[in-house]
Chains A and B, each alone.
Chain A
Amino acid sequence: MFILQQIWDFYATVFSTAFNIENILLLFGSVILGITFGALPGLTATLGVGLLTTLTYGFSTNAAMVTLLGMYVGAVYGGSYGSICVNIPGTAAAAATAMDGYPLACKGEAGRALGLTTTASFIGTMVGMFFLALFAPLIAKLALQFTSFEFFLLAFFGIMISGGLTGQDLVYKGWIAGLIGLFLSTVGRDNLQFFPRFTFGLPELDGGLEVVPVLIGAFGIPQIIQVIRDQLSVGEAKKFQRVLPEFGIIARRIKTIIRSALIGVGIGSVPGIGEDIAAWVSYGTAKKASKNPETFGKGAYEGIIASETANNACIGGAIIPLLTLGIPGSPPAVMLLGALMIHNVTPGPMISIENPHFIMEMTAILCLASVAVFICGLLLAKQVVKVLRIPPPVFMPIVLVLCVIGSYALGTKVFNLYLMVPIGILAYFMQSMGYPIAPLVIGVILGPMADENLRRALMVSQGSFVPFFTRPVALILLTIIVWMFVSQIPFFKRFTAWLKGQISKTKPSERTSAS
Chain B
Amino acid sequence: MGAGGGKSESRNTEDSQTVIILSRLPAKIGEVGKIRVVRSHSFYSYSYLRKVMDKVQLRKKDFITSIILIAFGIFMILYTLTEIPMKDSWGGVMNVWFVSPGLFPVCIGGLLIIMGLVLCQRAIKDGGAKKFLQDLFRREKGSSGKTLRFLGILLVIVAYVYLYIPRIDYFLSTMLTLLVFISFFYLNRPDLLKKFFTFYLAGCLLFLAFFLFGIDQQLNEKFLYFMDILVFLFFLGYMAYSRLLIRGDGILKKRWRLAILMSIVPSLILIPSFKFFLLVPLPVEGGFIELMNIVRYSLR
Task: Flag if B91 contacts A229 (CB, 8 Å).
Answer: no
Q: Is the CB of A227 within 8 A of B38?
A: yes
- B17 to chain A: which residues have CB within 8 Å? 95-96, 99, 280
The interface residues of chain B lying within 8 Å CB-to-CB of A412 are 280-281
Asked whether any CB of chain B lies closer than 8 Å to the CB of A158, the reply is no
A224 vs B2: C-alpha distance when bound (angstroms): 32
Interface size band for B = 35 or more
Are B37 and A194 in contact (CB-based, < 8 A)?
A: no
User: Which of A225, A298, A393, A433 meets B150, CB within 8 Å?
Assistant: A225
- Write the chain B residue with the least CB distance to A284: B3
Query: B46 — nearest CB in chain A belongs to which residue?
Result: A168
The residues of B that contact A86 with a CB separation of less than 8 Å are 26
**Chain B residues positioned under 8 Å from A229 (CB to CB):** 146, 149-150, 153
Interface string of A81-97 (1 = CB under 8 A from B): 00000111111100110
Q: Is the interface of B mostly helix, strand, loop or mixed?
A: helix
A438 cross-chain contacts in B, Cβ below 8 A: 42
- Among B161-169, B196-204, B219-227, B242-250, the stretch in contact with A: B161-169
CB nearest neighbor in B for A176: B115
Please pick, from A176, A182, A190, A400, the residue contacting B101 in the complex, using a CB distance under 8 A: A190
Which residues does chain B contribute within 8 Å of A194, judged by CB atoms? Answer: 91
Assess whether B33 is interfacial by the CB under 8 Å rule: no
CB atoms of B84 and A195 under 8 A apart: yes
Residues of chain A within 8 A (CB-CB) of B45 are 168, 431-432, 434
Min distance, Cβ B1 to any Cβ of chain A, angstroms:
4
**With A and B bound together, what is the CA distance between A230 and B146 in angstroms?**
8
A281 touches B182 (CB 8 A): no
CB distance from A408 to the nearest CB of B (A): 7
Residue from A168, A281, A459 in contact with B98 in the complex, judged by beta carbons closer than 8 Å: A459
B154 is an interface residue with CB less than 8 A from chain A: yes
Residues of chain B lying within 8 A (CB to CB) of residue A223: 40
How far, in whole Å, are A24 and B298 apart by their CA atoms in the complex?
33
Q: How far is the CB of B229 from chain A (nearest CB, A)?
A: 22
Q: Report B-chain residues with C-beta under 8 Å of the C-beta of A433.
A: 49, 58, 61-62, 65
Decide: A391 and B165 in contact? CB cutoff 8 A.
no
Pair B274/A401 contact, Cβ less than 8 Å: no
Nearest residue (CB) in A for B160 is A404
The reply to whether B153 and A192 form a contact with Cβ atoms under 8 Å apart is no
Most buried by A among B14, B25, B98, B274: B98
Q: Would you call A197 and B266 a contact (CB within 8 A)? A: no
Interface string of B176-210 (1 = CB under 8 A from A): 01100110111010000000000000000000000
Bound: A250/B283 CA distance, A: 53
Docked pose: A398 CA to B264 CA in angstroms: 11
In the bound complex, CA of A409 to CA of B99 (Å): 36
Is A179 a contact partner of B84 (Cβ separation < 8 A)?
no
Shortest Cβ distance from A233 into B: residue: B36
B234 interface residue (CB < 8 Å to A): no
**Given A195-B84, A393-B182, A172 contacting B118 (CB threshold 8 A):** yes
**Could you tell me the distance between the alpha carbons of A432 and B49 in the complex, rounded to whole angstroms?**
7
A134 within 8 A of B: no
* Complex contact A169–B58 (CB within 8 A): yes
Q: Which of A390-428 contact B (CB under 8 A)?
A: 391, 393-394, 396-398, 400-402, 404-405, 408-409, 412, 414, 417-418, 420-421, 424-425
B18 lies within 8 A of A95 (CB): yes
Complex interface: chain A residues within 8 A of B85 (CB):
195
Question: How many Å from the CB of B239 to the closest CB on chain A?
Answer: 15
Residues of A within 8 A of B231 (CB): none
* Selected interface stretch from A310-318, A367-375, A450-458, A494-502: A450-458
- Chain B residues contacting A396 (CB-CB under 8 Å) are 181
Interchain CB contact under 8 A, A455 and B103: yes
The reply to whether A172 and B119 form a contact with Cβ atoms under 8 Å apart is: yes
Does A437 touch B at the CB level, under 8 Å? yes
| B13 touching A296, Cβ below 8 Å | no
Who on chain B is nearest to A90 by CB?
B40
Q: Say yes or no: is B24 at the interface (Cβ < 8 Å to chain A).
A: yes
Question: Which residues of chain B are near A102, meaning CB under 8 Å?
Answer: 24
Cα A102 to Cα B278 in complex, Å, equals 41
**Chain A residues within 8 Å of B127, by CB:** none
Say yes or no: is A166 at the interface (Cβ < 8 Å to chain B): yes
A183–B119 touching, CB < 8 Å: no
Could you tell me if B98 and A414 are in contact, using CB atoms closer than 8 angstroms? no
B189 CB to nearest chain A CB (Å) = 12
Cβ of A173 under 8 Å from chain B = yes
Q: At the interface, yes or no: B241 with Cβ under 8 Å from chain A? A: no
The reply to whether B39 and A409 contact each other, CB–CB distance below 8 Å, is no
A176 to B39, CA, bound (A): 21
Q: Which residues of B contact A227 (CB under 8 A)?
A: 38-40
B93 in contact (CB, < 8 A): yes
Is the CB of A108 closer than 8 A to any CB of chain B? Answer: no
CB distance from A176 to the nearest CB of B (A): 5
Say whether A284 contacts B1, CB under 8 Å. Answer: yes
B42 contacts A414, CB within 8 Å?
A: no
A and B contact pairs by CB, cutoff 8 A, 26 listed: A41-B38, A55-B278, A58-B279, A95-B17, A99-B17, A172-B119, A183-B112, A186-B108, A197-B105, A229-B150, A232-B37, A297-B5, A393-B188, A397-B178, A400-B156, A401-B267, A404-B160, A404-B161, A408-B283, A418-B161, A420-B161, A433-B49, A434-B45, A434-B49, A463-B97, A463-B98
Q: Mark B residues whose CB is within 8 Å of A.
A: 1-3, 5-7, 13-14, 17-18, 20-21, 24-26, 28-29, 34-47, 49, 58, 61-62, 65, 69, 76, 79-80, 83-85, 90-91, 93, 95-105, 107-108, 111-112, 115-116, 118-119, 122, 146, 149-150, 153-154, 156-158, 160-162, 165-166, 174, 177-178, 181-182, 184-186, 188, 258-259, 262, 266-267, 270-271, 274, 278-281, 283
| Other 19 A-B pairs with CB < 8 A, given A391-B186, A454-B103 | A87-B26, A102-B24, A172-B119, A176-B116, A179-B115, A183-B76, A193-B101, A228-B149, A230-B37, A232-B37, A235-B25, A280-B17, A394-B186, A404-B161, A408-B165, A414-B283, A417-B165, A431-B42, A455-B100
